[in-house]
Structure 1
């Protein structure tokens, strides 16, 4: 049983899951002119939809992939170094937020995520996220993957009960009542709560906020997977060169193995594409641009490109060199999201009164933090490591060569739902 901070009062029954990489949104007071009728039509919580003939998540995961690539390109344009974020974490939290928004704001959020509301009604979107979260959260002996949401509301707020019921039913939100009047103490207590839920891997995710902050919405993903073909740590070279750019190189640990993997070389895009499998229903897609071709590869990133690669990847024995690395990404997205279509979240016309219970509250900050650790044993996102058995090495001297000794892209993919769990770029493996 999870222990809750003594300063937080739990608001009604809800779920709580183990947590990992995160996003938060904080609400500040901003007056705006009175508007006309803003009746809220929240889709009814679905019953039994998880047993339909085809999973509801199939209606949303293609859109999540497009959203992931759009956001990646915007981050790449503004971030010179490492990039790492969770498209599923971020998109599910924004969709959750739309449940408490009035009509215009709700439409702007969902369309900004990339949904065509004529083709995919709001109710189907929320059922899709419910189905996705439920499926990803199913227990597996080979893959640890959990999602979690927590909502901290100031004691003076009076959210609509049916909104809380819907976000609990659809997104598994745990709602707490908090005292934001003492902003410094509350921030420390929320950060401590998050740190405990993520085994100390996500710390200080919530930056300072003022006393007029009235709401914090947190979402986390916890991912821990073992390689299907683990690397032998005795074959790891402790000091190999990694070329950050044409002028800078680092000496880093480089893992090595000769093993069967699906890979290809895309001459048109100028990159090597490698698929590494985990023991459970997850895969890592690594994309290594030719020297000087990173911008060309990033420009070519489209859902159609990923589909093409998936069809063309062929298994073959590969002489693989891959760095051990631990990177993280921390972003304040209120300046980035408007550039990819989410334009109505932060202006004074936005209306989240379904959650806040007050008409003059708007979102002023959206932050996202994610971490990943890749070792010989497997991949861990914001969690402690586990042990793995090592397979017998192949005694082969000749095989195609893939040397990830320069910046490359990383996509962590859940196989059953075909959803992008994490997406990033490794520019400096030693940056942390």
Structure 2
């Protein structure tokens, strides 16, 4: 039997201009796990048992990717960890434990059943409708029509991960690839197109995960101040002229002298926020090395609201990774060995996973969200005291972390080295 593909997708549309006046800034905490306020006696949601591990896995994976590329990085920790956890349900022998431990779970502290219930709770909560935040998470399994999947596996992944299985003719690889690409394009509202690259005719399974995210800024940028071209210094020798978004607004931010970086939190009108980290010139590697969950908690405690003169580039970047080359460095080795046993999915599928592909895209575009723009064209920017506002000019490579606040989960993580690279 042929190999299986594990395809992990994340699509993100970040917000746009929306000329409208909002209430005064109240501030929200980063998505760092902590005891729920005023609910200490209530049982914590099941996702609280997994989100800290997903965050830790995200930072470990980021560091591995950073050693292999000097360009843009962008991926979805929730997408990758969800798919691997789902896959562990179909693995046999010691492979389930090896996958979950590779993700960073301590099975003595968090039993396997609790982990899967945690992902079930996370997916369900992220999928709850919100009037201000578009967030869609999904899993799909495509199996060759000659395979006979285990009914117990299909029932379990549908119950825990909301995953549906589809029969496909993988012997006609061109047609099947087109069908899967079209399916993903529709599920991500056109944000991820032509995602699935060529696969061989002996491929028998594709496991998909996708995330779609779209939100508006809580404090919008003034659209008339975003057309100015400013210099962005990719490195010491390379600079670009790119459009900068500009505003003077209240944000939580902090300058970390020890790590030599500026940390900025920007809120969305929905229950999400972005954390932007701007290292001082020449300090990117130092900041990357120091990225730990404890660092994020420290910043969350030290971020303070203040008026800020902010210059932020419009950018559209994506990341595509063959993770079968990267995950073994993080302890996930057995699923790529010839001995890997995935007979829990189908008895005929007893060969290794040959490809773990992940693609994520993010678009921070002024025109990305058109709702409400026309109605606010006559709004006048508030007069603010320009002399007292410290300046944060994101004109060199910076890190971006996208959080969903309710679940305290890290949806996307990346590094913007070249905002115009696409």
Which of the five TM-score ranges fits, normalised by the shorter chain? 0.7 to 0.9
Q: What is the deviation of 1:359?
A: 5.2
1:397 alignment counterpart: 386
Runs of 4+ in 1 over 6 A off after TM superposition: none
Q: Aligned-pair distance for 1:60?
A: 0.3
Aligned with residue 363 of structure 1, among 353, 359, 362: 353
Q: Which residue of 1 aligns with 2:62?
A: 72
The alignment status of 1:276 with 2:276, answered yes or no, reads no
What is the aligned partner in structure 2 of residue 226 from structure 1? Answer: 216
1:79 CA displacement: 1.2
Q: Give the equivalent residue in structure 2 for 1:44.
A: none
User: How has the CA–CA distance of structure 1 residues 82 and 175 changed in structure 2, closer, same or farther, with 3 Å as cutoff?
Assistant: same
The farther-off stretch of 357-366 and 416-425 is: 357-366
Aligned to 1:210: 200
How do residues 249-398 of structure 1 correspond to structure 2 at under 5 angstroms?
A: 249-358=239-348, 360-376=350-366, 385-388=369-372, 393-395=381-383, 396-398=385-387
Q: Which residue of 1 aligns with 2:21?
A: none
The Cα of 1:239 is off from its aligned counterpart by 1.3
- Structure 1: stretches of 5+ with no match in the other structure: 1-18, 23-51, 378-383
Indicate conservation of the 8 Å contact 1:147/1:219, yes or no.
yes
- Residue 60 (structure 1) aligned with residue 50 (structure 2): yes
Asked if the contact 1:109–1:345 (Cα under 8 Å) also holds between the matched residues in 2, the reply is yes
- Tell me the SS of whatever aligns to 1:175: strand
Partners of 2:11 and 2:398 lie apart in 1 by 21
Alignment check: 8 A CA contact 2:397 2:417 kept: yes
The aligned counterpart of 1:161 is: 151
Distance in structure 1 (CA, Å) of the matches to 2:162 and 2:44: 22
1:35-67 CA-partner distances (Å, limit 9, x unpaired): xxxxxxxxxxxxxxxxx8320000000000000
Report the Cα distance in structure 2 between the residues aligned to 1:359 and 1:220, rounded to whole angstroms.
24
Under a length normalisation based on structure 1, what TM-score does the superposition of the two structures give? 0.85
Correspondence for 2:97? 107
RMSD: 1.5
1:196 aligns with 2:186: yes
CA distance in 1 between counterparts of 2:380 and 2:112 reads 51
What does residue 429 of structure 1 align with?
Answer: 419
CA distance in 2, matches of 1:275, 1:426: 16
Q: Distance in 1 between matches of 2:299 and 2:102?
A: 27
Residue pairs, 1:174-189, within 5 angstroms: 174-189=164-179
1:142 equivalent in alignment to 2:132:
yes
Which residue of 100, 110, 123 maps to 1:120? 110
SS in 1 for 2:107: coil
- Kept in 2, the 8 Å contact 1:152–1:176? The answer is yes
Q: Deviations over 1:4-39 (max 9, x none)?
A: xxxxxxxxxxxxxxx9539xxxxxxxxxxxxxxxxx
Q: Give secondary structure in 2 for the equivalent of 1:219.
A: strand
Alpha-carbon deviation of 1:294?
0.2
Inter-partner Cα distance in structure 2 for 1:298 and 1:92:
24
CA distance in 1 between partners of 2:349 and 2:221 (Å) = 56
User: CA contact under 8 A between 1:237 and 1:253: conserved in structure 2?
Assistant: yes
Does structure 1 conserve the Cα–Cα contact (< 8 Å) formed by 2:10 and 2:75?
A: no
TM-score by length of 2: 0.87
Q: Please identify, of 292-301 and 154-163, the stretch whose mean Cα deviation from structure 2 is larger.
A: 154-163
Task: Check conservation: 2:279, 2:287, Cα contact below 8 A.
Answer: yes
Q: Which segments of 5 or more consecutive residues in structure 2 lack a partner in the other structure?
A: 1-8, 13-41
Q: Distance in 2 between matches of 1:309 and 1:363?
A: 39
Q: Aligned partners of 2:58 and 2:382: how far apart in 1?
A: 37
Note the C-alpha offset of 1:132. Answer: 0.3
Task: Indicate if the aligned counterparts of 1:346 and 1:362 stay in contact, CA closer than 8 A.
Answer: yes
1:236 Cα shift? 1.3
Shift of 1:204: 1.7
Contact 2:339/2:351, CA 8 A, preserved across alignment:
no
Distance 1:55 1:338 in 2: 31
| Number of residue pairs the alignment of both structures matches | 379
Q: Which has the higher contact order (CA 8 A, sep 6+)?
A: 2
Q: Is the 8 A contact 1:63 1:114 kept in 2?
A: yes
Q: Deviations over 1:53-106 (max 9, x none)?
A: 320000000000000000000011101100000000110000000011113111
User: SS at the partner of 2:352?
Assistant: strand
Q: Per-residue deviation at 1:357?
A: 2.1
Deviation of 1:340 after TM superposition, in Å, equals 1.4
Q: Which moved more, 1:220-229 or 1:339-348?
A: 339-348
